[in-house]
Structure 1
Amino acid sequence: MFRRVALLLLVGLLAWAYQATQPPPPKICGSPGGPPITAPRIKLRDGRYLAYKEHGVSKQVARYKIIFVHGFGSSRHDAVIATKPSAEFIEELGVHIVSLDRPGYGESDPDPKRTVKSLALDIEELADQLGFGSKFYVVGYSMGGQVIWSCLQYIPHRLAGATLYAPVVNYWWPGFPANLSTDAYYKQPPGDQWALRVAHHIPWLTYWWNTQKLFPSSSVIVGKPEIFSSQDLEIRRKMQASGIQTNRPHGKQQGVYESNHRDMMIGFGRWEFDPIEIKNPFPNNEGSVHLWQGDEDRLVPVELQRFIVGKLPWIDYHELPGAGHLFAYNDGINEAMLKSMLTGEK
């Protein structure tokens, strides 16, 4: 009798444990009970829908066409290069910007088959369906900056130029010296170390790990203030005072698993290529690639960024003294970035 009860308890415990690791199904936009569709969207090659937002001058008169890729937990509404420069500056330069909701974010359908490569192909298809022509520019911030590596790898022939703002690094990229990446990894808070270990080594446990209350999870998801530098905290205060919002709930309205958690599994998983081995997409200087990084960024280790650009000398590297991860919201940075990428002005 005791063995039977023990067996039933074990089976029940295992069933509960399995259920706890399974994320709820996403709330697809436009489906019964799901969020409404308010954005323009394109239908992709596999039937998914990708939402986007247009900024700046019309594409019919634009001299430059840019696709902006948002960061972790954000959405198409958080296109800092479209909102932080003045409208007069954007118009004078003749810039048309499209920001997209990455799969699972905002109003873009989730992509359960998402890979490092697939989003680069989504971006290419978005440009084609919007009539951007044979070449266009790409800009990405934070986790969106990481996506730009995929564009440089998989669609370099479509790019007129690219800019990466504080692109997130994957500590398991094989090109990093083990001592350098290990040292940077252990500078993170313990909760972040464990969250990334789980995302990399046992991704099927990512949902449970980042929703359980027994152990510390991702500081970024929780939004702990210690992940921000002193400059970041000052920028956040100014943004809050002026009503500027980022990481709005809208970005995660279809569920945290297909947005935040899949971001972690892809971004810190096993990549099909090593960014440190990417070839120069502009060997004849017909375009340029820029990487901007704050030297006090507590989310993206500057020493790893320095190593990458040291191996890729064709990247124009801009290191900002005293800047943290939110430097893109500082006055003047986006104007300087656009001029560097579009006109070559330093």
Structure 2
Amino acid sequence: MTTASTSMLPLHDGRRLAYLRMGRAGGRPVLFCHGTPGSRLFRPPESIPESLGVDLVTADRPGYGGSGPQPHRRLLDWPNDAVALADRLGWTRFAVAGVSGGGPHALACAVRYPDRVAAVGLVSSVAPFWPDALDGMLATTRRGFEWAHRSPALLRFGALLAARRPDRFVRGLGSELPDCDRRILARPEIARMAAENARAALTGDAMAREMVLLRRDWEFRPSDVVVPVELWHGELDRNVPVAHGRRLAAALPNCRATFVPDAGHYLIHDIWADVLAAVSRHLDAPGSRDPLWR
């Protein structure tokens, strides 16, 4: 068993990438992409990847936690960091999963490196924005994406204010959530993890820069993703309304979608095992395709 611990990877451009590894050493490799905002500390209980035989790594994207910023980055820049990390770990072929704003980053890995990425898992993921993409969003999230489009400087200022009081920011956002999400976040073990994740994530303006990134043209289309995609979305999600999940499921060529009627944005805390099992099974026969995807 690998006990969760943080390591640093020096990158070719002088930045460093902070990552956390847990689960089964030498097991089926899965890279997890946290949400927006988020950090490597957003993770499942250690017993889950261990019991599934998964070698799980979570990493801070640029500007979050212990990872250095990457000015003017594009969505398609993240896969280069991801593959540099995979090379460091000795992973030839791996699966990628992402939650919320991490979903597009996971898809970007599959677009850029289809020969390295065996499958993608998406939970509560953002889709490419369309005219009605903000309908049904929480007021705070909607306002952030509106600022991302109209006034990125104002959004960065708001992110810096949130970084001064991350606990207050999290409490304020929580007050807007549906009951199903509040019940999940009230669990003591999840509350502790969410608090430490927020403190690591909200340390600067990385959240604002990433919201601008997600709001703009991704420079690829979901239809460009050729690897299998496993998707889950709660129908009561108000952070990322279920319309995003439905649009992704319709656009992705090889997607198996599960829509959960009574779940919200924090559905992942109830389905960590399902997500890791589903994406990692595509690694059981390297180089082959499950008949489902033919």
Common topology (TM > 0.5) = yes
Moved more, 71-80 or 101-110: 71-80
Q: Secondary structure at the match of 2:122?
A: strand
Q: Which amino acid in the other structure matches residue 280 of structure 1?
A: V
Q: Secondary structure at the match of 1:326?
A: helix
Shift of 1:75: 1.4
Q: Does 1:107 align with 2:66?
A: yes
Matches within 5 A, 1:318-333: 318-330=258-270, 333=271
Q: Secondary structure at the match of 1:156?
A: coil
1:159 corresponds to: 117
Pick closer, same or farther for the CA change 1:222–1:147 going to 2, 3 Å.
farther
Give the structure-1-normalised TM-score: 0.71
Q: Does 1:199 align with 2:148?
A: yes
Q: Does 1:339 align with 2:277?
A: yes
Structure with larger Rg: 1
Shift of 1:121: 1.1
Q: Which amino acid in the other structure matches residue 343 of structure 1?
A: R
Matches within 5 A, 1:230-249: 230-239=179-188, 244-248=192-196, 249=198
Aligned length: 274
Query: Are the counterparts in 2 of residues 199 and 265 from structure 1 also a CA contact under 8 Å?
Result: yes
2:208 corresponds to: 261
Query: Are the counterparts in 1 of residues 101 and 214 from structure 2 also a CA contact under 8 Å?
Result: yes
Query: Are the counterparts in 2 of residues 57 and 94 from structure 1 also a CA contact under 8 Å?
Result: yes
Q: Which amino acid in the other structure matches residue 200 of structure 2?
A: G
Distance (Å, rounded) in 2 between the aligned partners of 1:160 and 1:189: 34
Q: Secondary structure at the match of 1:47?
A: coil
1:97-130 Cα shifts (integer Å, max 9, x gaps): 1111111111111111311111111101110112
Pick closer, same or farther for the CA change 1:166–1:112 going to 2, 3 Å.
same
Pick closer, same or farther for the CA change 1:57–1:293 going to 2, 3 Å.
same
Query: Are the counterparts in 2 of residues 163 and 341 from structure 1 also a CA contact under 8 Å?
Result: yes
Q: Does 1:98 align with 2:57?
A: yes
Q: Secondary structure at the match of 2:192?
A: coil
Shift of 1:203: 2.3
Query: Are the counterparts in 2 of residues 144 and 167 from structure 1 also a CA contact under 8 Å?
Result: yes
Q: Does 1:229 align with 2:178?
A: yes
Shift of 1:211: 5.9
1:147 corresponds to: 105
Q: Which amino acid in the other structure matches residue 202 of structure 1?
A: S
Query: Are the counterparts in 2 of residues 74 and 251 from structure 1 also a CA contact under 8 Å?
Result: yes
Distance (Å, rounded) in 2 between the aligned partners of 1:265 and 1:112: 13
Q: Which amino acid in the other structure matches residue 341 of structure 1?
A: V
Q: Secondary structure at the match of 1:97?
A: strand
Unmatched segments (≥5 aa) in structure 1: 1-37, 173-180, 214-218, 282-287
Query: Are the counterparts in 2 of residues 165 and 291 from structure 1 also a CA contact under 8 Å?
Result: yes
Q: Which amino acid in the other structure matches residue 164 of structure 1?
A: L
Pick closer, same or farther for the CA change 1:121–1:187 going to 2, 3 Å.
same
Pick closer, same or farther for the CA change 1:204–1:97 going to 2, 3 Å.
same
Pick closer, same or farther for the CA change 1:227–1:67 going to 2, 3 Å.
same
Query: Are the counterparts in 2 of residues 67 and 139 from structure 1 also a CA contact under 8 Å?
Result: yes
Larger fraction in strand: 2
Matches within 5 A, 1:210-229: 210=159, 223-229=172-178
Give the structure-2-normalised TM-score: 0.83
Unmatched segments (≥5 aa) in structure 2: 163-167, 283-289
